């Protein structure tokens, strides 16, 4: 079974560089894909697995592709950033339940926005999700922030478009009128940035006692997707920000782990939908609270 999944994954990677539409559809029907958001799985049955494996066997390997085979530096345990935190589900009593993704505070007029991957919120209502900045085990040094509203692009809602795998979350803290940005600070957000930028990615892997951080240059995986090669980005790191600059102050987020393969099928290669015009329109909508 695992070999079939690996073969189907190879077919999926060829899809990104021009396999005909018929083969693309077959390659996508594989089972058991591991996504970067903990607990999120797609399973489509044995027929789909066989089709995906057959496509992979028929297509020879192409040199120079990423798709989980590139090598790069390794992420290391980090104290993290006040602006980056873990997303949790909530128990009925409001206490934290399970960590499942990562998010980052981005600057806005109201100071209440967190950026993450859209697939992190699939099947979840805002009332059952909280953001914990600079989470460290049971420690919540900047408090627990309840998600009050989720903003996703229409292309994501209608067809789960990998090129629109980003979401803005409005958050608030019970008993406080202060916006999160006034407590943690915020990263800027930058649209339309080219590939080749040196970015730092901070994320929260499942089961880790601390976030990890790694710096590397992004690569252009496709016209709409960035690639980031660094080991250690496992389940739980979906939504981790690609931060440009920020060595001595706030940086600019140019993408979040998500997009192609919903962020990547291996811990060594991560993807992000490029933040372009659709992301900018969604940000403006979230800022306006509409």
Q: What is the pLDDT of residues 231-290, one digit of tens each?
A: 999 999 999 999 999 766 689 999 999 999 999 999 999 999 999 999 999 999 999 986
CATH class label, 84-184 = mainly beta
Q: What is the pLDDT of residues 149-158, one digit of tens each?
A: 999 999 999 9
Residue boundaries of the structural domains of the chain: 2-58, 84-184, 187-279
CA atoms in the 13 A half-sphere facing the CB of 117: 40
Contact between 227 and 274 under an 8 Å Cβ cutoff? The reply is no
State the DSSP H helix or E strand holding residue 254, giving kind and residue range, or none if neither. strand 252-256
Domain 187-279 = CATH 3.90.1150.10: no
Give pTM, 2 decimals.
Answer: 0.79
For tokens 């104290």, name the residue: 79
Note the maximum CA span of the chain: 60
């Amino acid at each position: 079974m695992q070999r079939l999944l690996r073969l189907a994954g190879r077919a999926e990677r060829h899809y990104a560089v021009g396999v005909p539409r018929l083969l693309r559809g077959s390659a996508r029907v594989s089972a058991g894909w591991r996504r970067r958001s903990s607990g999120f799985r797609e399973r489509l049955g044995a027929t789909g697995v066989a089709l995906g494996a057959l496509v992979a066997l028929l297509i020879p390997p192409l040199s120079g592709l990423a798709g989980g085979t590139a090598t790069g530096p390794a992420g290391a345990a980090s104290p993290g950033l006040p602006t980056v935190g873990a997303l949790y589900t909530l128990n009925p009593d409001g206490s934290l339940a399970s960590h499942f993704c990562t998010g980052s505070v981005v600057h806005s007029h109201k100071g209440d926005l967190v950026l993450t991957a859209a697939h992190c919120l699939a099947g979840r209502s805002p009332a059952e999700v909280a953001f914990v900045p600079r989470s460290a085990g049971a420690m919540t040094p900047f408090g627990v922030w309840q998600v009050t509203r989720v903003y996703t692009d229409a292309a994501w809602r209608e067809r789960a478009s990998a090129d629109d795998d980003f979401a803005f979350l409005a958050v608030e803290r019970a008993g406080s009128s202060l916006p999160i940005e006034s407590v943690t600070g915020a990263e800027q957000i930058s649209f339309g940035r080219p590939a080749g930028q040196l970015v730092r990615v901070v994320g929260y892997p499942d089961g880790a006692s601390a976030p990890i951080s790694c710096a590397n240059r992004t690569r252009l995986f496709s016209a709409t997707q960035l690639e980031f090669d660094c080991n250690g980005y496992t389940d739980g790191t979906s939504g981790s920000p690609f931060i440009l600059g920020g060595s001595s102050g706030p940086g600019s987020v140019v993408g979040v782990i998500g997009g192609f393969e919903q962020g990547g099928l291996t811990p060594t290669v991560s993807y992000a939908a490029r933040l372009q015009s659709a992301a900018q329109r969604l940000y403006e909508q979230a800022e306006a609270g509409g």
